[in-house]
Chains A and B, each alone.
Chain A
Amino acid sequence: MYTYMEYLQKCYYKSIGWNEDNIYSNITATSNALLEFSIPNGIKIDNSNKTTDYSASSFTLSNQHQINGSLAYLYSSIPLTNTMGTKEISLQDAIAGFKIIEPVLLVNKQLNSNLNSKSSSLLYGRMYFPGSALEAMLIKRISENTQLLIKCISNPHLEKNGTMIVYLQNNKTKYSRELIFSTNELLLGVRCLYNLGSSLNSKINPNLIPKFDNSVVSIGTELWYAARTMSPGLSTALRYSTRSTSTGKPLTMTLAINPILGHVSSTYTVKTSVASTFCSKYDFNFFSYASNLSLGFELYSYSRKKNNLKSFPIKNDLPPTNTEILNQIRSIDNGYQIKPDLVSSKTLNNQAVTTAFQNLVNESDFSSVLKVSTSLNDKMMKLLWEGRCKDILVSTGVKIALNPTTNTPEVNRLGISFSYAC
């Protein structure tokens, strides 16, 4: 579950047209969301409020180390008008799930021209108590496709009282590049990601691309070097994201390799129905012959109350007003306008099938989701239930592992977290 501040950051990215899926660290985001979700530890209460379109504040309390909490503030230079409180937010936005990889060539251009997002920035700060730990973040857009992201923390427990990390990111539709520097052990990193696929070819009129040919292959690599300890790191990854043409159900396959350690990791994620997703991951090490198989799935459940079904807006020719486009920001498909007379009805059918599924997913009113993840080598199972109770988003989970010495299952983590935002 995203905290409210993370959710606002995502809204900001969407508002300025920044495609997060194009960043190399998110190349395995789908399988991570299904397998590596985190279980809350103890009791945590998160209370947030968006005071204006430009600012928000948040207050959290948790029972780690007796009691501790934090207070956070956020300021954005562009209005974040598409955010929802926990009462109305759809679970698909609030909870990390299957990420549909979409080329956003057109959306980018349209949105950018409309918004004065040339020099937008986001400021964020959080203060922890007790103790005097602080964290802060600055996202500054330098040019159309370039942004600077600076994160720093100040903590008297650290050796130099704080650390700062700087990302210089260049994000275009076809590729993205990043340069990272951290003061902790003087870490230097370079990351890049390339997208391959016919739908990304800017020379072809995107309106003529048939909708069924929407598979995207992304290849990326990262190179790290920690100067103080002289430790290197390297990995490459490949992601293939596509949609089934008959049913419209999306699937994503990734393959990641670390050549220095000889480690290979491959994942396969598929959305089997509107409300369920399955994922499997296989790790193998060429030097130590160690292998691991992880399985995970998530199941959504519908809410009891009657939801007003929205009609598929494919045939609707919505005027591209500011508010309309911003309101439809959840389902990117809806922002994609096709004039019916340009395409044949055949393609329209296919189009209908492939997008219908996605629309159905986006429009469904879920009330809760159950996530389960297992790891065979670690002999561990994680259970997480997230849902909405009244107006509050609740997330509770447990992590059960098999104790290697006594061979009995034991609970490693157990917790519950409440989140309210308005």
Chain B
Amino acid sequence: MSFNINWKQIDDEKLSYLCKDILTTALNSGKSPSILASNIIIKDLCFGKIAPDFEILEIGELDKDRFRGIFKINYEGDFHLTLHTKVHANPLHIYENNSIDSFITPNFVLASQEFAIPLDLKLSDIKISGIGIIVFSKSKGLTLVFRNDPLDSIKVSSTFDTVQVLANFLQKQIEDQIRDLFRETLPTLIHQLSLKYLNLDNNINELTSRLGNIPNTSSTSALKLDDEDLIYSAKNLQQSLQLFKSRETMSLNIPKFKNIIQRTNLDKINKISHYPNLLNSLSSNHSDLQKYQNHHNNGIPIEILIDNFNKTDHILKDISSIQATNFYKHTNKDAPVPKRRTIKMKKKSKPSSMESTFVTTTPVSEVTQPATPATPSTTSTKSSKIQQPTPQRVKPQNLYEEFIKSTQTPPGYDNKVIGVGLGNSNILNFVPNRGISTSPIKTVKSQEKSINYIDINKINKKLNQIKEEKKFQPGINHQDSFGYGGIFEFTAPPPYKY
């Protein structure tokens, strides 16, 4: 199991400054060795571009509170660090400084004069390849042990490079120190850090175990806290936990909070960006379509096509491709190849205007998906009054026939396109075998009625017609103008009163 380490995130200026600060304070803390004449400052710290390779080779134990595994880490990147300080070059001066009592130091006359030389030390070309064991347990923390010596090589360069003896000395010393760091210091540090972080965790766990299986949030008020380190109120924590859990399930029992009106997280559902829909996919290709963000439904507003009609073909092609890829992604290979539904629009007595050419190329769907209540976004100049449809229970017979008969292309759709959406378009959309649902279908005659209006009579008539013409067989009938995959019988869809 290997990990992808996003090394570029470390190349942040703020993080680099923070690291430099922490390193500088750490290096200068404590008693500085007598050979240093001034503080150590970090001249340059660069994490490089290449990330280390971290891989878990084997997992020995995996449990809720325990983990044991063997990991492998490799690094061959361009990390480098430059330090700057001053060193005492006069050893007798160091002798004089170190001697504990001036009573027994001879009085040097200028032989112990201070002489400080600046020193730059650069560590680079670190090659690390190590295999180690990670053991984590919630009660004991994290321990990390290297099986081998992880440091392969490191390049140490300094201002004393011209003096071969000193350069070799520095190289050897620093190599030894870094090997020690990996084998001894690093495991200890990580262990202590893990203990520190787990301490807080342990407090909360202890708390919940102490609270036991209390379902009611109100009974936690009597709880007394022994642990003073805990900064959160136990009662509030318990209540928050209950609330969180209730939202994850379908449970109707929502814990009540005082003086708070709760709303479910609507933006999870409403926010367009959280769910992929056609508009978002379209707007990713055409950035100017982002202004049409419609928060109320999943449909694509018609203005996309009206306003940018020089790009209509392009947009339609995009919509088609998006829907095609979507379909093929989610169906297996055996599924029947769907066909695009075509709707021929007949322009009857209406004068065709320039817009109608635009309109004919844009089919209109009379059937929408049940989940998307398509709110028509255009206003028909002809329809002045809109009646809100109300559901009504209807007799199950002949419903379908009436439905088919009665449906014709409503005139309102001749000149304007109500909506082009997932469920609205027939050519571009493949509606899987679903039942008829409420749809904004309008009868030709009654202009005063809303576009959500369904003329059931006509539908039923048409259905009966078809029934008589041929035997109803469950099968695929492609000649149907509605492009259904099959004409099937079903009991009443909730019709609308007319």
Which residues does A use to contact B, with CB under 8 Å? 24-28, 135, 151-153, 155, 157-158, 163-165, 167, 180, 182, 184-185, 187, 189, 220, 222, 224, 226, 229, 231-235, 237, 256-258, 260-261, 263, 265, 285, 287-288
Contacts and interface: CB of A to CB of B under 8 A. Distances in A.
B92 A233 contact: yes
B109 A226 contact: no
B110 A237 contact: yes
A420 B92 CA distance: 37
A258 B106 contact: no
Contacts of A257: 110
A261 B89 contact: yes
Given A28-B109, A157-B100, A226 B91 contact: yes
Contacts of B115: 261, 263, 285, 287-288
SS of B interface (majority): loop
Given A155-B101, A164-B104, A226-B95, A25 B109 contact: yes
Given A25-B106, A165-B106, A233-B111, A155 B100 contact: yes
Contact of B90 (A135, A153, A164, A261): A261
B87 to A, nearest CB: 13
Contact of A158 (B95, B100, B110, B117): B100
Contacts of B99: 163, 184
A185 B95 contact: yes
Contacts of A220: 109
B103 to A, nearest CB: 5
Contacts of A187: 95, 106
B107 interface: yes
B108 interface: yes
B113 interface: yes
Given A182-B104, A233-B108, A263 B113 contact: yes
Given A165-B106, A222-B111, 17 more contacts: A25-B107, A28-B109, A157-B100, A182-B104, A184-B104, A185-B95, A220-B109, A222-B109, A226-B91, A226-B92, A231-B95, A256-B109, A261-B90, A261-B113, A263-B113, A263-B115, A287-B115
Most buried by B among A180, A184, A258, A260: A258
8 contacts: A25-B108, A27-B109, A135-B101, A185-B95, A187-B95, A224-B108, A257-B110, A260-B90
A180 B103 contact: no
Contacts of B297: none
SS of A interface (majority): strand
Contact of A256 (B105, B106, B110): B110
A59 B92 CA distance: 33
Interface of B: 89-92, 94-95, 99-101, 103-113, 115, 117
B111 A258 contact: yes
A11 B108 CA distance: 24
Contacts of A222: 108-109, 111
A257 B111 CA distance: 9
Closest 10 CB pairs of A and B: A231-B91, A233-B111, A25-B107, A235-B110, A233-B92, A235-B111, A256-B110, A261-B115, A258-B110, A165-B104
A224 B110 CA distance: 11
B120 to A, nearest CB: 16
A125 B128 CA distance: 59
A1 to B, nearest CB: 16
B107 A263 contact: no
Contact of A180 (B94, B106, B110): B106
A288 B114 CA distance: 12
A184 B106 CA distance: 11
Given A235-B110, A285-B115, A152 B92 contact: no
A135 B103 contact: yes
A153 B107 contact: no
Given A224-B92, A261-B89, A261-B90, A153 B109 contact: no
A158 B91 CA distance: 19
B110 A263 contact: yes
Contacts of A151: 103-104
Contacts of A261: 89-90, 113, 115
A124 B223 CA distance: 73
Contact of A237 (B94, B109, B113): B109
A27 B107 CA distance: 11
Contacts of A26: 107
Nearest to A128: B101
A232 B91 CA distance: 8
Contacts of A260: 90
Contacts of A287: 115
Contacts of B103: 135, 151, 153
A412 to B, nearest CB: 17
A118 B159 CA distance: 58
A153 B101 contact: yes
Contacts of B111: 222, 224, 233-235, 258
A287 B113 CA distance: 13
Nearest to B113: A263
Contacts of B106: 25, 165, 167, 180, 182, 187, 189
Contacts of B95: 184-185, 187, 226, 229, 231
A152 B117 CA distance: 34
A312 B27 CA distance: 66
A240 B106 CA distance: 23
Nearest to A181: B106
Contacts of A182: 104-106
Contact of B113 (A25, A158, A258): A258
Nearest to A165: B104
Nearest to A27: B109
Nearest to A163: B104
Given A28-B109, A235-B111, A261-B113, A229 B91 contact: yes
A185 B106 CA distance: 13
A220 B111 CA distance: 13
Contacts of A163: 99, 104
B88 to A, nearest CB: 11
Contact of B104 (A152, A231, A265): A152
Nearest to A220: B109
A265 to B, nearest CB: 6
B110 to A, nearest CB: 4
A306 to B, nearest CB: 40
A27 B109 CA distance: 8
A123 B151 CA distance: 60
Contacts of A233: 90-92, 108, 111-112
Nearest to A32: B107
B105 to A, nearest CB: 8
Nearest to B96: A233
